[in-house]
Amino acid sequence: MNIYPIQVMKDDYGTLFITCPELPEVTTFAEDVSEVSKRAKDAIEEAIAARIADGREVPAPTVKFAMKQLRDRVVQMRTQVSMKIALYRELADAHITRAELSRRLDWKREQVDRLFRLNHATRLDQYDAAFHALGRDITIVVSPERKAVGTAEAENRCEPQEIGDPKGENRRCITDPSEKSAQPRNLPAQSWETVFRRSWGLLVARLEACTHRVHWRFAW
């Protein structure tokens, strides 16, 4: 799947200004938080479609699901769009033109062009044929839906930041009440005692080693 990060900021008119760091040409607006995901997805798809039509590179998203990025939102492309992007990249990496792909598939040029139109619903058997013509196989991986970052349904999300606050210092993170607390559990007294003893023993051993090295240096 292609998952792109987006940035959401409140503008002077009370609407939400949406951009995508990976695609600088993406700029759109939303009236409230519930519209952010749809508006961003539409704008990103339009930008990718324009890049494909012009024969330009479609950058691979660089999203890392880390705690430090819980502030950021992400948008996941539709499966159909992800397939077309993958085919477009494979064609570019193989240095093969659409005319050559049309010859290998024995299809008309219009049929090949439809493979790369994001608003056209391509059949799975056509994807199979196209990737096979490039010497590639399709592997399907089903994984749990990622909720940690970036959508209105996310378990952890943040309010949009104000324009002029690039570091997001004025944003307030919102945690779903159903989410389990990230605080450490209260361990039994015996467990803490064991940890204390081990830590104390390690500290004493290090102090003794340091003292031995100091004495050794003076003796030398």
- The predicted-structure confidence for 83-108, as pLDDT tens digits, reads as follows 999 999 999 999 999 999 999 999 99
The pLDDT value recorded for residue 193 is 58
Which residues does the chain have with pLDDT short of 50? 65-71, 148-158, 172-190, 212-220
Tokens of 130: 């196209």
- Scanning the structure block, which residue is given the tokens 């944003």? 171
The pLDDT value recorded for residue 208 is 63
C-alpha distance across the termini of the chain, in Å: 65
The pLDDT value recorded for residue 83 is 95
Distance CA 5, CA 7 (A): 7
Tokens of 87: 């085919």
DSSP lists the bridge partners of residue 158 as 173
pLDDT digits (tens, 9 = 90+) for 185-200: 444 444 555 555 666 6
The pLDDT value recorded for residue 111 is 96
- Tell me the C-alpha to C-alpha distance, in Å, between residue 18 and each of 37, 80, 82, 173, 216: 10, 23, 21, 18, 65
Does domain 3-175 correspond to CATH entry 3.30.160.100? no
Distance CA 176, CA 118 (A): 35
